[in-house]
Amino acid sequence: MSVPLPQLVLYTREGCHLCDEARALVQGLLEDRAARGQRTAAMCERDITTDPEWERQFFDRIPVIELGGRRLELVTSAARLRRFLDEALEGSLA
């Protein structure tokens, strides 16, 4: 029986170039993890403009990712994102 992939949530909004860059970073790092046989995650995006609470909470912090009960705000550094994924994915092994 296969274990479902954990869900990685990327909070974005249309027209956010940092969000576009973060999406590409996340996808690339997840693909790299998969290619190396490491645990990966299924990414879904949430547009903060569709929920007033998300917009209030994340407006000046996007791009934001959540995974395994952890959150990383202002995702702009590949090194920080790689470390976050390593900790969240390896730390969530049961």
User: Domain residue spans in the chain?
Assistant: 7-91
pLDDT of residue 94: 42
| Ranges of the chain with pLDDT below 70 | 1-2, 92-94
Element spanning 30, H or E: helix 17-35
Taking only the tens place, the pLDDT of each residue in 26-40 is 999 999 999 999 999
Out of 3.30.2320.50, 3.40.250.10, 3.30.360.10, 3.40.30.10, select the CATH number for domain 7-91. Answer: 3.40.30.10
Using CA atoms, how far apart are residues 64 and 18, in angstroms rounded to an integer? Answer: 10
3-state secondary structure of 48: helix
The torsion of the CA quartet 5, 9, 37, 2, rounded to 10 degrees, works out to 0
How far is Cα 8 from Cα 42, in angstroms, rounded to an integer?
Answer: 6
